[in-house]
Amino acid sequence: MTNTSPSFAVGEYWNAVATGQDGKPEYNQDQHRNEILNWVQESGGGSLTAFDFTTKFILQAAVEGELWRLIDPNGKPPGLIGIAPESAITFVDNHDTGSTQKISPFPSDKVMQGYAYILTHPGIPSMFYDHFFDWGLKDELTKLSGVRGRNGITATSRVRILAYEAELYVASVDERIIVKIGPKMDLGNLIPMNFQLATSGLKDELTKLSGMSKELAYEAKLYVAAIDERIIVKMGPKMDLGNLYS
């Protein structure tokens, strides 16, 4: 780093997360993410970033009905993005964890939930070649990336976590994006009344309701809409929303 002075560099420090007797990650992974951050700083810091394995391992456990994992004891994201987002490259899978090696693959039926999280949260998100091309997720990922870019979400965007339960995660990012993950639809007053449903169901079942919708992304388990310069990301199989967005 000192000799080359690159404007951007990515490194990998793959350390094991602490696990419990059930084999799942422990809730508190401060040591894990601090080890990655220390490695970045000791390796030169500056423009050097590192793959956020802490977020990857927590996220892939969280989407399996344990979304309460997506907040640390200080109310921030639990991975490297919670302490040094400008140094964190977020990802769902790469050539080691997924692909043909499958050392620690993200749940295949929850991959788009993983991308909805990293593409709307701080850090520097990356997309896996296999997912983008081989899995046929190009259109959905392109739309999510566009939502991030057009709404000015950056590596250091501010996250305000509104709900974190087993089946529900809701967060506001820069007070411009609301991300909702999980099948639970009893949201109380978490979603402002001016957010209105713009898409529902599968790709061939698109319904527009009232509201100034500017961005759309829709997939079997994903809903994204930008309304009045804001965004809702709705995820989960249940689409009977009643009057929630009316």
pLDDT of residue 240: 53
Percent of the chain with pLDDT over 70: 78
Give 241 or 125, the one with higher predicted confidence: 125
Model confidence band, residue 190 (pLDDT cutoffs 50, 70, 90)? confident
- What is 9-150's CATH number? 3.20.20.80
Model confidence band, residue 29 (pLDDT cutoffs 50, 70, 90)? very high
Which helix (H) or strand (E) segment holds residue 142: the answer is helix 138-150
Choose from 89-98, 142-151, 183-192, 217-226 the range with maximum mean pLDDT: 89-98
pLDDT of residue 124: 98
Model confidence band, residue 150 (pLDDT cutoffs 50, 70, 90)? confident
Q: How many CA atoms lie within 13 A of 82 on its CB side?
A: 25
Tokens 């309460």 sit on residue? 68
Task: Kindly tell me if the per-residue pLDDT of 91 is higher than 90.
Answer: yes
pLDDT of residue 82: 98
The domain locations on the chain are: 9-150, 160-235
Lowest-pLDDT choice from 5-14, 18-27, 175-184: 175-184
pLDDT of residue 147: 82
Query: What mean pLDDT is predicted for residues 52-77?
Result: 97
What is the CA angle 174-177-179, rounded to 5?
A: 120
pLDDT of residue 237: 58
pTM of the model: 0.81
Torsion sign over Cα 105, 110, 112, 113: negative
Task: Kindly tell me if the per-residue pLDDT of 202 is higher than 80.
Answer: no
pLDDT of residue 198: 33
pLDDT of residue 70: 98
SS3 category, 164: strand
Pairing of strands 88-90, 124-125: parallel
pLDDT of residue 239: 54
pLDDT of residue 46: 83
Query: What mean pLDDT is predicted for residues 108-122?
Result: 93
Helix, strand, coil shares of the chain, percent, nearest 5, are 25, 20, 55
Task: Kindly tell me if the per-residue pLDDT of 241 is higher than 60.
Answer: no
**Dist. CA 194–CA 20, nearest whole Å:** 43
Contact assessment for residue 222 and residue 233, using Cβ atoms and an 8 Å cutoff? yes
Contact assessment for residue 84 and residue 40, using Cβ atoms and an 8 Å cutoff? yes
The mean predicted confidence, pLDDT, of the chain is 82
**Dist. CA 237–CA 181, nearest whole Å:** 10
